Structure 1
Amino acid sequence: MISRVRIRDRSKCRSYSATYRAKNLAKVRAANRRYAATCKDKRRITKLMMRYGLRPDQYDAMAKAQSYLCAICNKSLKLYVDHHKASGVVRGLLCRDCNLGLGYFKESPDALSCAAKYLAERHEMPLHEAQTRKREPNQLAFWSGEPVKE
């Protein structure tokens, strides 16, 4: 049986690793690609368990219950786990855009309802004259309204 020797000075180990990687960059990248290709499912399982405490069968059951659609926009895109940031409780599966949108609004129902109200009020709002006026192709300096002299 091979016993492991405890390395007391980790800086030597790190410097050796960095040196090896620098000298054998193509070899290291090829090994990383092989590992990533063979362990894709294992990484997915580990990520679900570590981040959200979900087993793959639980994720699949949630996706099936949602008909493999985003819980907000009902589009069939890749689904991401939506969870409460403070407690870690999983709420459902969302597409990337909806999940990021909730994050940008800091998961605040008040902010989201204000945004929905804003959109509803301004949905049919006419554009300002400056936004509707057609521009000639040679009017590149549109902020001044003067055509570019050639």
Structure 2
Amino acid sequence: MTDLPRCRECVAEYGAAHDRRRREALGKPVRGICPSASAIHVDHCHATGKVRGVLCFNCNSGIGKLGDDPDRTRRAAAYLEGNSWKPILVAPGVYQLPS
């Protein structure tokens, strides 16, 4: 993730890119991660810039802070569900923690 632009020209370019993503997102479905909040934030892939949909602020920033990484997101969900530290029996007397 990059820092916000500082000069007037860069701010204008950043704003134009954001507006393009928002217009593109108008045709995308609202994602159902958080049904209780208003979905008004454009979710996009930071690697490609491609718009995925529209989310609420907290879900959008949470995905970004997890690095757009599905495996990291699954591990976070397992942690919240209390499953991340339950060892798995792989052989008699041999346990492995989920990755």
Could you tell me the TM-score, scaled by structure 2's length?
0.56
Name the CA distance, whole Å, in 2 between partners of 1:52 and 1:112.
Answer: 28
Could you tell me the TM-score, scaled by structure 1's length?
0.39
Contact 1:72 1:98 in 2 (8 A): yes
Name the CA distance, whole Å, in 2 between partners of 1:108 and 1:72.
Answer: 16
Residue in structure 1 matched with residue 69 of structure 2 by the alignment: 108
- 90 and 100 in structure 1: CA distance in 2 versus 1, 3 angstrom threshold: same
Gaps of 5+ in 1: 1-42, 123-150
Query: Moved runs in structure 1, 4+ residues, more than 4 A?
Result: none
Q: Which has the higher contact order (CA 8 A, sep 6+)?
A: 2
Contact 1:82 1:90 in 2 (8 A): yes
Counterpart check, 1:60 vs 2:26: yes
Deviations 1:16-69 (A, max 9, x none): xxxxxxxxxxxxxxxxxxxxxxxxxxx9xx93x52363463x44333xx43xxx
Residue in structure 2 matched with residue 98 of structure 1 by the alignment: 59
Name the CA distance, whole Å, in 2 between partners of 1:80 and 1:117.
Answer: 26
Amino acid of the structure 2 residue aligned with 1:60: L
Name the CA distance, whole Å, in 2 between partners of 1:92 and 1:81.
Answer: 6
Name the CA distance, whole Å, in 2 between partners of 1:55 and 1:85.
Answer: 15
Deviations 1:98-130 (A, max 9, x none): 0110111111111111111111117xxxxxxxx
Name the CA distance, whole Å, in 2 between partners of 1:84 and 1:50.
Answer: 14
Gaps of 5+ in 2: 1-11, 84-99
- 59 and 104 in structure 1: CA distance in 2 versus 1, 3 angstrom threshold: closer
User: How many residues in Structure 1 have an aligned counterpart in Structure 2?
Assistant: 71
